[in-house]
Amino acid sequence: MITQFAPAKVNLALHVTGQRPDSYHLLDSLVVFAGIGDRVSVSSDDTLSLEVIGADIAEVPSDARNLVLKAARLFDEDKGAKIVLEKNLPTASGIGGGSSDAAAALRALSTLWNLPLPSTDNVLRLGADLPVCMKPEPQRMRGIGEILDPAPVLPRMHMVLANPRVGVTTPSVFGRMTNKINPPLEDIPAKMDAAQFVHWLSRQRNDLEVPAISGLPVIQDVLDALEDIPSCCLARMSGSGATCFGLFETAAQARLAEDTLRAEHQDWWVASGPMLLD
């Protein structure tokens, strides 16, 4: 059995810089991954199958609709495998759960079947987040998700992710945007310490935050709850929501913040972990 971790993808900043004639949106985003996520295990079998396990999987399909099986078929090989997806991340939550699962499945099946990974163009057909999830380390993502550059070395920080357990559809958030041509990210400085990094990041944006909150005001409640924690360096929504993140300098601060949010908001999904740098 081969197992791959499928970490949560977090857009520390997400600028919408335009829209193509084919309606695809142009983005400029600093993407990192958290030590919080799903797991994908694959083993040899005569046929291709998917089993989904976990505590909260009612809305996760195990048939051809699942992105994991769509990804497996990118290999264009008549091969079998038993795929087990352990879901820990909430669905439709702005942290790339499905894309990260699919990317993990591709990495695992490439090893199991001894085949090269599909091309970026083929991977991109499954979604704009797939290419960046293929290599879960800090990256600057531009275009519609196909232009990827390694980010400069970032300081070690810890994250708390919080989701009010309300799904958000990405098209609905983009549909509420009033301005789709915005400035790109500022150049990312090299060798920043935590304070410098937070200062730089505070000058960036998530252009989807305001339209997401206008459709789902509880997102603002999540942001407020994170910002009320004294040790939280910065709080922002990830992707198209509804998951928000808080940045912390130490693991102890993040764990305490996680415990606090869990106690005060027992109906939310909350998790903490390190920001993965390699």
Q: For the stretch 79-94, what's the b/e string if a residue is b when 16 or more beta carbons lie within 10 angstroms of its beta carbon?
A: bebbbbbbbbbbbbbb
pLDDT at 112: 97
Q: Which residues of the chain have pLDDT under 70?
A: none
Task: Please spell the DSSP secondary structure of 232-248, one letter per residue.
Answer: --EEEE-TTSS-EEEEE
The values of phi and psi at residue 252, to 5°, are -65, -40
Delimiting residues of CATH 3.30.70.890 domain(s) in the chain: 152-276
Query: Which position among 28, 38, 101, 129 bears the catalytic label?
Result: 129
Delimiting residues of CATH 3.30.230.10 domain(s) in the chain: 2-143
pLDDT at 16: 98
Distance CA 170, CA 89 (A): 17
Q: Which residue stretches of the chain are H helix?
A: 67-72, 97-113, 120-124, 130-133, 170-175, 194-202, 209-215, 218-227, 251-264
CATH no. of 2-143: 3.30.230.10
In the annotation, is 221 catalytic? Answer: no
Query: Which position among 9, 28, 87, 101 bears the catalytic label?
Result: 9
In the annotation, is 9 catalytic? Answer: yes
CATH for 152-276 (3.30.70.890, 3.40.50.2300, 1.10.1040.10, 3.30.70.1520):
3.30.70.890
pTM of the model: 0.96
